[in-house]
């Protein structure tokens, strides 16, 4: 059993936009006949859906002794105290407070985030910034796994 797992899925409106892209491709191919029109509708929609799905595929997990965020796997021993960021504070850490050396798994459609300092002196990464819909639960999971 994993203490925490979240997938940063894209919002429903993005899927609607993917269908509209397929319709636009169909309209572009309309002068060439019905078969190209259907090909444009199906192909354009499929490609747009693959793009939306891949952008919304990263997961954040707390497993055993690690924090897995997207492609990164960070040992919990290298992490400091988690800091829950509300929408305004998260925006600040995404922009003018951001450090270019930080590891950031951010999605603009998720307003809240969690920031965790990296305490390993050998690691040049100052902190981890993770967009999450439930930063309190993630912080509690990190604290609980570290305490056990």
Mean pLDDT value across residues 23-30: 97
Specify the number of domains making up the chain. 2
Residue 31 lies in a domain: yes
Q: Is the pLDDT assigned to residue 23 strictly greater than 50?
A: yes
Instruction: Provide the pLDDT for residue 56.
Output: 86
Q: Are 87 and 132 in contact (CB under 8 A)?
A: no
Other C-beta atoms lying within 10 Å of the C-beta of residue 37: 17
Residue 68 lies in a domain: no
Instruction: Provide the pLDDT for residue 35.
Output: 96
Range of the domain at 129: 74-147
**Residue 50 and residue 91 share a domain:** no
Other C-beta atoms lying within 10 Å of the C-beta of residue 127: 19
Q: Are 134 and 6 in contact (CB under 8 A)?
A: yes
Residue 61 lies in a domain: no
- Going by pLDDT thresholds of 50, 70 and 90, the confidence category of residue 1 is very low
**Residue 129 and residue 78 share a domain:** yes
Mean pLDDT value across residues 86-100: 94
Mean pLDDT value across residues 65-94: 93
């Amino acid at each position: 059993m994993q203490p925490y797992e979240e997938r940063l899925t894209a919002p429903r409106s993005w899927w609607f936009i993917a269908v509209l892209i397929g319709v636009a491709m169909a309209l572009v191919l309309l002068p060439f006949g019905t078969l190209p029109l259907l090909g444009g509708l199906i192909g354009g929609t499929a490609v747009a859906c693959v793009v939306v799905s891949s952008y919304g595929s990263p997961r954040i997990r707390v497993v055993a002794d690690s924090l897995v965020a997207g492609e990164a796997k960070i040992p919990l021993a290298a992490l400091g105290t988690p800091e829950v960021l509300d929408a305004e504070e998260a925006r600040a850490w995404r922009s003018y407070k951001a450090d270019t050396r930080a590891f950031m798994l951010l999605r603009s459609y998720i307003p809240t985030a969690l920031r965790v300092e990296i305490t390993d002196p050998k690691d040049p990464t100052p902190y981890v910034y993770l967009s999450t819909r439930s930063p309190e639960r993630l912080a509690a999971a990190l604290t609980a796994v570290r305490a056990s």
